[in-house]
Structure 1
Amino acid sequence: MWMVLTTILFVGVTATVRYLEGEVPAPQAAFLRYAIGTLLLTPSLITLIKIKPNKPLMSKFLLRGLVHSFGVTLWFYAMSVMPVAEVTAIGFLTYIFVSIGACIFLKEKLHKHRITAVIISFLGALIILRPGFKVIESGQLGMLMATVVFTASYLIAKLVSKERSSSEIVAMLSIFTTIFLIPSAIYSWEPISIEALLILAFTALIATIGHITMTQAIKAAPMVVTQPILFLQLVWASMVGLFLFDEQFDLYVIIGGTIIMICVCYVSYREHVLGKKITNDVLQKVI
């Protein structure tokens, strides 16, 4: 139940940003979303005051904030120009990239199931993008780049998760991402309507709640049980795109997204069988 609610909330985040349709520049929208999100995390921020300065750890927090600021800017841009379902489908690649990135950078063992999942997921992405059959647009490239950047962010999160709690990691991410978004937000700043500001505030609220419900879902059931439920995001996204934004139903996006999601579930199942513990923070989509 927690994971079902999570999928609804995350699609809600996507839908609210899509509703703005580029009314607010991507860097400005990303900044406002994270600035408001930081305010919502005030209780967690208070506990950070008690943390003793740790230069190596703080460097990782800073690096993650810098990396993540690029990712969310790319995501906001992609969301303003792409169908909701397509953004959701391509976003599933992040889970696969994290799995293979953990092998390369965190020295985790490279099992055959991870290699298989990456290859098949790549085919799923090709079905969605269909290079050679249609022009790959800037929004699609932006979303692909965002998945790679988010992967780097989540791998850094896995490193610091050994030293800090999930709430502290999320709070530090919000602080530093907001800070690093300031220059680009100022550069692209445009007058914003009250309606757009309220929409971004609502986006920050449901995104924050979504991360809480995802954490509860992961605590309540094994990843092998919760991961398949994430596929509902593609279902909800397709319905939202069709009924709210009159976006044409794209069978290729559904097929490609389904293939990628099956690979995500397969990796989760194999990791579960091997008795591995996947860190919650790595698999959380911080939007």
Structure 2
Amino acid sequence: MTTAYISRPASAPLVGIGWMVAAGLCFVGMTVLIKSVGAALPAAQTAVLRFALGLPFLLPMLPALARVRLTPSHWKLLSLRAVLHSAGVGLWFFAIARIPLGEVTAINYLNPIWVTVGAALLMGERLPPRRLAAVAAAFIGALVVLRPGLREIDPGHVAMMGTAMLIASGYLVVKRLSEDLPAEVIVAMMSLMVPLGLLPFALPVWQTPGATELILLFAAAGLGTAGHYTMTRAFAAAPLTVTQPVTFLQLVWAVAVGALLFGEPVDPFTLLGGAIIMGAVIFITWREARARRAAIAAAPDALLSRSASGPAARGSSRG
């Protein structure tokens, strides 16, 4: 009996870590540029301009977009994703202008936690006790960052919590869309639809942007695109259990840059809370990877068991 093996690219942990470090630098750089625009423009307008100025980076995706045939169901899901992402992005831009970069980054780590909770509530996925404990730990980490009752909660903190929930909800929609559509189509449609979703909120408060704001937002769009590309390369090069811990560096860099460029105080509670949240995310990622490996290992055994029992079962039925 011969066994066929599927050839897969070998895991390259150091390469994956390198790509993830590059992704983190891109995302932190993008956040710094957006914060540099700050209150010069309304948050909704800043978000519209960031996506509009990023449209040239979609050109390589246009062939895939031209080939696809979208059904009414696809349009409904794409529209829902656009609404969720538009609201999340608008709140994110609002939060960046109001609260320190470290707190923005730390609270943003809740995205995978909300995805886990949403998948359990809306898609019926299991939430075993250990994963539930990790979710609880993540929310404790968020409380450490926010410290309600011990300091004043800024509207930016509330907006950032809303961002994490809305973006996570959008990821759940993407999970469904990815069963039918290529990633390029999903990304391109989001980039085209989100500015349209934000435009009604931006037009009433529209201000004429200066050359500096346009240059900064164009550079932010480029870094955002590069960040998603390098993150995808990291996922392809190494397992999530290897690359996920590297994302904690984004919090360290955000706190350092916030202190050096914007005079934001270094808050140890932000670092501690972010570490707790990231620890929970890493634990969930590790558990999912372990469960996936167990399922893959069990599949050949189940196949062999069925193959061995099949002839005997058929023979007994003929007897």
Band of TM-score, shorter chain = over 0.9
RMSD: 1.3
Q: How does 1:162-173 map to 2 (within 5 A)?
A: 162-173=179-190
Contact 2:99 2:154 (8 Å CA) reproduced: no
Counterpart position of 2:232: 215
Q: Which residue of the other structure, out of 56, 70, 75, is the alignment partner of 2:73?
A: 56
Q: Does 1:99 align with 2:116?
A: yes
Pair 1:195-2:200 in alignment: no
Equivalent residue letter for 1:162: E
Please identify the structure whose Cα radius of gyration is greater.
2
Pick one of 279, 289, 308 that aligns with 1:262. Answer: 279
Find the residue that maps to 2:97 and give its secondary structure. Answer: helix
Matches within 5 A, 1:175-254: 175-254=192-271
In the alignment, the residues of structure 2 paired with residue 35 and residue 144 of structure 1 have an alpha-carbon distance, to the nearest angstrom, of 25
Asked whether the 8 Å contact 1:117–1:263 carries over to 2, the reply is yes
Q: Give the letter for the 1:66 counterpart.
A: V
Check whether the contact 2:64–2:184 (CA below 8 A) recurs between aligned residues: no
Does the CA-based 8 Å contact 2:52-2:195 persist in structure 1? yes
Instruction: After TM superposition, give the deviation of residue 269 of structure 1 in Å.
Output: 0.5
Is the counterpart of residue 36 in structure 1 residue 53 in structure 2?
yes
Which consecutive residues of structure 2, in runs of 5 or more, have no partner in the other structure?
1-17, 295-319
Corresponding position of 1:280 = none
Instruction: Check 1:129–1:276 CA distance in 2 against 1; reply closer, same or farther (3 A cut).
Output: farther
Unaligned runs of 5+ in 1: 278-287
Task: State the distance in 2 between where 1:44 and 1:72 align.
Answer: 22
Quote the Cα distance in structure 1 between the aligned partners of 2:26 and 2:208.
Answer: 28
CA contact (8 A) 2:102 2:255 kept: yes
Q: CA offsets per residue over residues 19-44 of structure 1, 9 Å max, x none? A: 11211110000001111222311221
Identity %: 39
Tell me, what secondary structure is at the counterpart of 2:70?
coil
Aligned residues: 277
Q: Deviations over 1:178-198 (max 9, x none)?
A: 211111111221111100011
1:240-272 alpha-carbon deviations (Å, 9 max, x no partner): 111111111001101001100010101000111
SS in 1 for 2:148: coil
Alignment of 1:152-167 (within 5 A): 152-167=169-184
- The structural deviation recorded for 1:276 is 6.9
- The code of the aligned residue for 2:109 comes to F
1:74 aligns with 2:76: no
1:83-162 alignment, distance < 5 Å: 83-162=100-179
Report the Cα offset of residue 2 of structure 1.
0.3
- Asked if the contact 2:65–2:184 (Cα under 8 Å) also holds between the matched residues in 1, the reply is no
Q: How far apart are 1:49 and its partner, in Å? A: 1.8
CA distance in 1, matches of 2:181, 2:255: 37
